[in-house]
């Protein structure tokens, strides 16, 4: 399946300017005329899908401990903005459902990364996809992506018609083509700061879309676009947007 991606996808919203994976960050991305955002989903102890990246709470909240061992009612009490800046004090961790309502209102596409806590690869995908199937209608603007092959297999079983993307860290594994074929992917996502032209061309040759992650430098972005990447995921969409205006 082929998918048309925008040139820029806001990473965890626009997390260069607002706390990652929050409604405020997504609103910031929308204010920059970003068309899609990439967000992370994982489960609380009682299986509520929340938009959150880490396995633990310390880095981006005033809580502590493992997300997988924390009930949603306790997650609700946490504050997830002041670590970033005092002006974001009081920001909350959104549920997947709350975030999707915002995305629909803002007319944003979604690259949803299944980010399971260890041992919860299957159930995280199952719960997230179950929620999405009830609240997200535009499957031309939705990607289910993950580093976890188990999560992607689950997505393939539950929603075979939805676009799926494999995230690869570091060098391309020798068997990546077999993995991509087995998982019936549409997108391969690679680290935009370390990837090679050869890797990008090998993905394109297999007719998968290429998404380059974590790119904040305009010169690197210009190089990646010239090498044929379809989209760049970035913390600073406005910076990369200026690159596109000079390239195209």
At 20, which CATH number?
A: 3.20.20.190
Banded pLDDT at 170 (limits 50, 70, 90): confident
* 218 contacts: CB under 8 Å, gap ≥ 6: 239, 240, 242, 243
- Does any domain span residue 61? no
| Cα-to-chain-centroid distance, residue 41 | 9
- Does any domain span residue 124? yes
- Does any domain span residue 222? yes
Name the residue range of residue 223's domain: 8-43+99-247
- Span 212-241, pLDDT tens digits: 999 999 999 999 999 999 999 999 999 999
Banded pLDDT at 247 (limits 50, 70, 90): low
Which one of the listed residues 53, 131, 149, 248 is annotated catalytic?
Answer: 53
Percentage of the residues of the chain whose pLDDT score is greater than 90: 93
Contact 12, 20 (CB under 8 A): yes
Per the annotation, the verdict on 131 as an active-site residue is no
- Does any domain span residue 143? yes
Number of folded domains that form the chain? 1
Q: What is residue 171's predicted lDDT score, i.e. its pLDDT?
A: 87
Distances (CA, A) of 242 to 7, 17, 43, 134, 226: 12, 16, 37, 37, 15
- Does any domain span residue 173? yes
- Does any domain span residue 15? yes
Residue carrying the six token digits 């915002």: 102
Per the annotation, the verdict on 53 as an active-site residue is yes
Whether pLDDT at 2 is above 80: no
- Span 85-142, pLDDT tens digits: 999 999 999 999 999 999 999 999 999 999 999 999 999 999 999 999 999 999 999 9
- Span 175-186, pLDDT tens digits: 999 999 999 999
Distances (CA, A) of 217 to 43, 95, 98, 188, 232: 33, 31, 32, 21, 11
| Cα-to-chain-centroid distance, residue 18 | 16
- Does any domain span residue 56? no
């Amino acid at each position: 399946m082929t998918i048309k991606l925008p040139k820029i996808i806001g990473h965890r919203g626009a997390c260069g300017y607002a706390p990652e994976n929050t409604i405020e960050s997504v609103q910031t991305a929308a204010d920059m005329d970003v068309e899609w955002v990439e967000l992370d989903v994982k489960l609380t102890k009682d299986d509520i899908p929340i938009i959150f990246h880490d396995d633990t709470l310390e880095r981006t909240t005033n809580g502590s401990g493992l997300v997988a061992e924390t009930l949603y009612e306790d997650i609700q009490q946490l504050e997830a903005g002041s670590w970033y800046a005092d002006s974001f004090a009081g920001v909350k961790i959104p549920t997947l459902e709350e975030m999707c309502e915002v995305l629909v209102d803002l007319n944003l596409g979604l690259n949803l990364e299944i980010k399971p806590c260890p041992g919860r690869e299957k159930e995280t995908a199952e719960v997230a996809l179950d929620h999405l199937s009830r609240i997200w209608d535009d499957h031309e603007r939705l990607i289910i992506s993950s580093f976890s092959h188990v999560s992607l297999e689950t997505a393939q079983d539950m929603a075979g018609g939805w676009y799926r993307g494999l995230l690869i860290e570091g060098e391309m594994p020798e068997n990546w083509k077999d993995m991509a074929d087995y998982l019936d992917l549409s997108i391969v996502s690679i680290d935009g700061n370390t990837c090679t032209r050869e890797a990008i061309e090998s993905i394109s040759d297999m007719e998968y879309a290429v998404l380059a992650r974590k790119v904040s430098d305009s010169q690197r972005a210009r190089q990646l676009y010239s090498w044929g990447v379809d989209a760049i995921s970035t913390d600073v969409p406005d910076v990369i947007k200026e690159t596109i205006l000079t390239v195209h």
